[in-house]
Each structure stands twice: as C-alpha cells, then as structure tokens.
Chain A
Amino acid sequence: MLNVGKLNEGVVLDHIEAGKSMQLYKYLKLDQMDCCVAIIKNAHSNKMGKKDIIKVECPIDQLDLNVLGFIDHNITVNIIKNGEIVAKEVLKLPKRLVNIVHCKNPRCITSIEQELDQVFFLADEEKEIYRCLYCEEKYRAHRKQR
C-alpha cells in the first residue's frame, strides 16, 4: 500500500470515481498552481471497489471547488487545517461553468469564434439543466448516483 503523508492545510478529495482524478486535476487548474499535489489512482475502497484520491496542500481559498459539484457530487471534500479535518463540503451544482462543457449548437457564435470562453449557466437546478450563455442551447448535467 502506497503511503502519502498527512496534510497540514489543504483539501483531500476522496471517493473520486477510479480514473477520473486527472480530469479533476485539469478542471481544478492544479497544473497552474505552485503547490504540493498527490494523486492516488485506483486505491482500494470498501464502498466503491476502486477509487481515486487527490490531496492538495494549499490555502483553502486558493481552490475553486465549485466545478466538482458538476463533475461528481458524490466526491467527499475534506477541508484540512492544522493537520485535522475541520469541515466536509457538500457539493452542489455550480451556477456557472466556464470552459468545462462545449456548446454543440452549430448555429452558436462559439462555433466560429473559438477564442470565446464556453460559458454555461444553471437554468434549472431541479432538472439539472444548464444553458449556453450565448445561444441558450440545453445541456443536462447527468450526475451519477451511487
């Protein structure tokens, strides 16, 4: 069993679906941060069989975790301070997604002006429906239930 040391301050993302950690690494923009990140793939899980874990050592306010709610709201988010878990975040669908999903409407302005940010806003929280900011094309979140 691989051992990764305890964090002093930061976030532990647990119960990530096995194989999804690199996707989260990108969405959380961890590649752009100058901090210590541990990615554990295919760790044993009693609940899931296999799971991924990400540990990030950084001040908590430097991370925008909203996107996690869109990708998988079953992820456990542990906030660590002074080496202890001080809070567990409940993930909700973010109000706005920037460059996470791409508009598939060929009539959308983003289809010809590729430098534009792909922005979707949460139009219906109950039905988990997002719409493109520009053309209002629908995107259903399809969150996984475990």
Chain B
Amino acid sequence: MRHLMSPLDFSVEELSKLFDLANEIEANPEKFSHVCAGKKLATLFYEPSTRTRLSFEAAMLNLGGSVLGFSSADSSSAAKGESVSDTIRIISGYADIAAIRHPKEGAPLVASLKSGIPVINAGDGGHQHPTQTLTDLLTIRSLKGRLDNMTIGICGDLKFGRTVHSLINALVRYPGIRFILISPEELRLPDYIREDVLRRNNQEFREEVRLEDALPELDLLYMTRVQKERFFNEEDYVRMKDFYILDREKMKLAPPDMLVLHPLPRVNEISVEVDDDPRAVYFKQAKYGVYVRMALILTLLEVKVC
C-alpha cells in the first residue's frame, strides 16, 4: 500500500505517468466518471481549508465515488483528545482512502504508519503540501509541454512559503531549469534550501529584488502571497505585502508566452486587471488541481481503467 507524504515520494518517471493519467482525465472525463463507484474518500481536515478540501471532494465525486469527513478539529474526535493514530485506525474501517490536513507537522505521516488505507498528506503545518506541488507541475507540463529547460521566476515570500520550497525541491530533478528568485531582502529563500537543494544539485539560480529585472527572461512566473500570520508586527507586514504587485504595465515586460501561476489565495500581489491576460493561468491551475488529485486517487487505489 502506498501513501503520499511528500512530492519526492514519486520518482520523475512515476510523476510522468501520473500526469499522463491526469491529462487523459482532462481530455476524456466521461470515461472516468464511474471508475470509483462504491469507493469512499475520507477528508480529515483538522484545520479549515476551503480550496484543498473541496478539490479533493470534487476529485472523488468526479470519479463516481463518495466522500465523508470533517472540516475542523472542533467537529472531530480530536476535540475529545483522540490521537491521529487512533482516528485513522477507525477511519480505515469506514473509507478506502484518506486525505489529511493537520496543523502539526508530520501528523499525516503518523497516520500513514497506522493506517489500513492509503493516506494523502493534504498539508501539514508549514512542512509539506504535496498535492499543491503536483498541481503546479501538472499545470506547467500541460501548458508548457515540458518540465525541463525553463527559466522560472519565483516571486514574493520565499522565506516562509512551503509551496515554494516544495516546488524548488521537485523541479531540481529536471534538467535545464534556471531559477530567478525574486524577493525582498527580509523574505529571501532560507539558507538550507539555497545550500542543501540548489547548491548541492549545482542548480543555476540568481536572486533579484526587482520583479522588473527578471520578467523579460522568464518562461514562467510563480507568484506567492505574503502571509500575514508570519509577521510579528503589522507595520512590517503592510510594507511587505505591497512589495510586489503584478499589474498590466509589468506584464508588458514579460515574454508573450510566459505563464503566471499562483497557488492562491491571492491578496493584492496580482492585480485583477491581469486576470484577463491569456498568460494568467492561476484559475486553470486550480482546475488542474482536481485532475491531478483524481489521478492520484486512482493511482493510490490501484484502480485500472481500460
């Protein structure tokens, strides 16, 4: 039995198969609409998350399966003090697969060690959020046609953004990737990612403060939100949150085939006037999140579709 805890749990070849399946689902959703009939997905969300939970639920419903679960710790037995291990043992008797989000890092791994069903990490604190990374990779591969030989700009909160760290970890496995890391000095990529991931893999990268200096070179721009909860004082947050605002003027500097991705939700780092630009693909990205979760559920449940 297989689980998904980190995007690196799947090899490049396995990811390629997963994305092939996701693209097949996208092209022919009818073919997959009943393949999980009679199967149940448990969404065990110990903290609220609208997008991820609904994306998982939509994925299972699209496959003809059904869903059960809870959307906050208050409405679960965790409020009575039940451990994650005990909960998953119980849920293993109710469902065929589980997606777990938990504010504590490593909670989904603990569940997977005691589980009788496949477990998907749907986000554990600031640690991992593998299905977001799979979503990002599928979006890039589907819309660019490749995951290699690209200049990728990553902009915003590179210090605390777990999606950024996971994406970098996943992309260094592909050849010819060049990163331009765009952030204010205070929100630069942590040393351990720069040293242990980029330098150790001899990855080509450079750091910029001004978005305008990177835009003309980019095949892809990954924007991120500055997260309010990471700041101790309001003043710093206010100064940082307006540091990067991608608007129509700045988009004029970008190549005509550059794509703009964002894990969402956005605050004001991408002006709404950019939404209509064909290069802005962040809403498509959310849709790819459903396809990749459908492919993941099929893969972990070992459902064969003829």
Contact = CB atoms under 8 A, between A and B. Distances in A.
Contacts of A133: 106, 109
A146 interface: no
Interface in A96-125: 105, 107-113, 115-116
A83 B107 CA distance: 50
A132 B84 CA distance: 18
Interface residues of A, number: 16
Contacts of A109: 84, 102, 104-107, 109-110, 124
Contacts of B106: 108-110, 132-135
Given A107-B125, A136-B127, A113 B110 contact: yes
Given A109-B104, A109-B105, A112-B104, A134 B110 contact: yes
A142 B126 CA distance: 27
B83 interface: yes
B126 A107 contact: yes
Say what secondary structure dominates the interface of chain A: loop
B104 A107 contact: yes
Contacts of B103: 107
Given A107-B126, A113-B83, A115-B83, A135 B110 contact: no
A56 to B, nearest CB: 32
A138 B191 CA distance: 13
B contact residues, range: 10 to 19
A49 to B, nearest CB: 39
Contacts of B83: 113, 115
Contacts of B104: 107-109, 111-112
Given A107-B105, A108-B105, A109-B105, A135 B127 contact: yes
A105 B107 CA distance: 13
Contacts of A136: 105, 127
Interface string B124-141: 111100000000000000
Contacts of A105: 105
Contacts of A108: 104-106
A57 B288 CA distance: 63
Contacts of B102: 109
8 contacts: A107-B104, A109-B84, A109-B104, A109-B106, A109-B110, A113-B110, A116-B110, A134-B109
Interface of A: 105, 107-113, 115-116, 132-136, 138
Given A107-B103, A113-B84, 16 more contacts: A107-B105, A107-B125, A109-B102, A109-B105, A109-B110, A110-B106, A113-B83, A113-B110, A115-B83, A116-B85, A116-B110, A133-B106, A134-B105, A135-B124, A136-B105, A138-B192
